[in-house]
Amino acid sequence: MMKQGILSELRNCNRQRWELAIFVAGLLVVLGVFIRLGNECAITTVNSVYASKSTLPNNDVGSLAFAPFLNMAPSSDGTEIRVSAAGVGALGGTLFANFLDIGPGGRKHSYTMTYSDTAQTYFATAVGFTPGMDITGTVGLTTTLGLETAEIQFQRAFVTPLTPQVDIAVEGQMGGETLTVAMPNIGTVPADTYLVVMATNAPPGPLPSGYRFASSTYAINPSGSLTETERLMTLRFTYGQTLPAGVDPHTLAVVGWNRTDLTWEVLGGDLFAQDQALEYVTKRFGIYALAATPTWRDSFNERELTGVSVQTNTRRRSDGTIVLDSGATSGALTSIPITPTTDAASWGTLHFSATIPLGADLRIDVLDINDQVLRVNVADGADLSDLPLVDYPSLKLRATLTTAQAEVSPELRSWQVSWAPSEQQQNSTYLPLVVR
């Protein structure tokens, strides 16, 4: 009996040990899950420093994503491309830059990126490119954490001072949008130069309040220390069907990233709405994008004048100015309705650019949606904030041109109306990324 009691006690003891072992093992598994989730949350928190300033394309706040600002610069000898990825902090895993679908003069390869605590940026150098030729390819980032970006198209062009015509076109990440960098003249660059043009996957920083990205952000980077061209180049943005909901094309403007102040600057540009394009002429390389702004503007560069609703005895000259018809002594021009396309607190200011010769006159009036006159003969820079938005949600502009001599006409070059964004309005940034 005593022996059976001892054996029974041993069995109970062993069973308790096994149950304890199973409990500890289960606890370790659960702990492991929590640790893994904690690491993923930490990664998301790091990314949220950048991504939390953004929303998804439908302007609804979406889940935070892996959204590095991706940039590349070519080497002066044409054999390398320097890759950088910023805006995500130091990730817990390894980051790779993957070059795929490389055209002539390149090769597929993956490069491990190194993180710089000083620059808070990942870097890698891709090698093996053939000098003296143009290269087309795609680049994307992957990580050992299961995060990745979409594949981004880039062009590396070889330009010499004797190159007569250069057109470098790349697709954006929103579908139907492109950027074309056009250098139409000999002598645009002072020496043999490599240029990389690409979408950057994410912006380097947020836009001011009241502005929304209407395209991907693009980088135009030269080799060496070159910062600008010798002669003008044209940046042509085509936006296709990618504009945010409710955006009037006349509110679009090219914005450029100021690398010193780390802010976006509004640069302007000329709209060609029939072609769904906007052009900006510059000499400077850098980071550019198309943005919807809190300003409606018409510079009359379109032959179709899509910003004009009524035109009487006036015409558009080839230089983009509005003048009286030949032989006419009076005429008028009325804009389409101007409606704030973002949440607005109040109307802002009215500006126009005109030349009024001796013996001629030009008058600008402000109308409501029903063509009732609200302000007569306003000056450039007039404050319209006393027109309540609730009563006047849309405005029109009317220009009246007169002259005492039929051969002399006033000239209207552009006009614009702004509005003040509401304090509650948040910035919207597209994150065309893939997260697995």
Report mean pLDDT in 10-residue bins for the chain, 436 residues: 42 46 40 35 30 32 66 96 95 93 72 96 95 94 93 95 94 89 94 97 94 95 96 94 82 96 95 93 97 95 92 95 96 96 90 97 97 97 96 97 95 97 56 32
CATH 1.10.357.10 applies to domain 69-293: no
The pLDDT assigned to 240 comes to 76
Which burial class, exposed, middle or buried, applies to 386 when counting CB atoms under 10 A from its CB (0-12, 13-18, 19+)? exposed
Domain positions in the chain: 69-293, 308-421
The pLDDT assigned to 51 comes to 33
Which burial class, exposed, middle or buried, applies to 402 when counting CB atoms under 10 A from its CB (0-12, 13-18, 19+)? middle
Sign of CA dihedral 381, 385, 386, 389: positive
C-alpha 241/C-alpha 431 separation (Å) is 17
Which residue do the tokens 């003048």 mark?
Answer: 323
The pLDDT assigned to 108 comes to 72
The pLDDT assigned to 26 comes to 45
The pLDDT assigned to 39 comes to 35
The pLDDT assigned to 175 comes to 78
pTM of the predicted model as reported, rounded to 2 decimal places:
0.80
CATH 1.20.58 applies to domain 308-421: no
The pLDDT assigned to 424 comes to 57
The pLDDT assigned to 104 comes to 67
